[in-house]
Chains A and B, each alone.
Chain A
Amino acid sequence: MKGNELFNLQELLSRQKLLICFSGPFSHSVIEELGKAVRNHLENERIEKSAIMDVFSVYVEQAQNVRNYTTSRETLGRPIPANSGIVVIGKEDDHYVVSSGNLVEADDVPGLSAMLEKLRGLDKAGLKAVYKEQSRKPREAGASGAGLGLIDMARKATRPLEYSLRAVDDAYYFFSLEVQL
């Protein structure tokens, strides 16, 4: 990348008050190392331990969701083109905001948006009820997660989950998710 483009990119990142940004293929070791960096950074900010754990856990859920989705498409023999996702952690006023973006198959869009709309319409008690219901369901064979990640993020968030789904081509959408803590 040319020097002035790199400058522009960093300008954009710092205007958004981003603390950490990762874009590229997610491996488990990337998720782990970046997680350590996030925690070290927040520990130096001298914020409460519970707030550090909230940011860290939302980051882990988002990064593992991106990774698990990518891995599941590979298993199905339909690898996602340009195997990459993005996770960013920023600060808006007094709130930390954890966001992620990745490509999803067009067929998964209706289910994903229905789930997010449902969660957006629930209050804390409703979210807890959905969480308990999901956590008691038997695990699906071959599933890499328990279907609890989005619900857990919605419970930790201080405002409803924000998301967008933008068509990239006939087969893929770019899914972005923003969680404010």
Chain B
Amino acid sequence: MEKLRIEASSCSPLIDFDPAAGLLRIDGESYPENSFDFYAPVFSWLEEYLKDPAPAVVLDIGLSYLNTSSIKCMIDVLEMLDGAHQKGRTVSVRWHYDSDNDRALDMAEEFAEDVSLPFEILAH
């Protein structure tokens, strides 16, 4: 499977998914003009990838701000990974946040509430 890489812009994050290594990265801020259009290639890539993922998959998220439609997209991404976890795949999430920004921590904790996969929240 091909890598998925979408460069960051001022209102959309970097997407860098390496299928062989099982390393998925989402970094930056997310409030694009149309979140569902922006994340559509992410959803379709993950859907394909999770049929036969690497032995261990880690999603590293470093999102300092998401608007509500991006939050919805991220919930959907996490649900896809959680589904793979429930089927016995080794999938985990590491959520990185800036320790100055309490809101980013609150947000990470809310995302973690809704999934059963291993979810680490790391301050930087």
- A→B interface (CB under 8 Å): 28, 32, 35-36, 48-50, 53-54, 56-57, 60-61, 64, 132, 135-136, 139, 143-146, 148-149, 152
Contacts and interface: CB of A to CB of B under 8 A. Distances in A.
B123 to A, nearest CB: 13
B78 to A, nearest CB: 11
Given A135-B71, A139-B36, A146-B71, A60 B31 contact: yes
A56 B75 contact: no
B69 interface: yes
A24 B9 CA distance: 25
Contacts of B35: 146
A53 B68 contact: no
A28 B72 CA distance: 20
B48 interface: no
13 contacts: A28-B33, A32-B10, A49-B98, A50-B103, A60-B31, A60-B67, A135-B71, A135-B72, A139-B36, A139-B76, A144-B36, A145-B68, A146-B68
Contacts of B7: none
Contact of A144 (B10, B69, B100, B101): B69
A54 B103 contact: yes
Nearest to A33: B10
Interface of B: 10-11, 31, 33-36, 65, 67-69, 71-72, 75-76, 98, 100-104, 114
Nearest to B105: A50
Contacts of A146: 35, 68-69, 71-72
B58 to A, nearest CB: 24
A53 B114 CA distance: 23
B104 to A, nearest CB: 8
Contacts of A36: 10
B31 A64 contact: yes
A50 B68 contact: no
Given A49-B101, A50-B102, A60-B31, A139 B72 contact: yes
A32 B71 CA distance: 18
B103 to A, nearest CB: 5
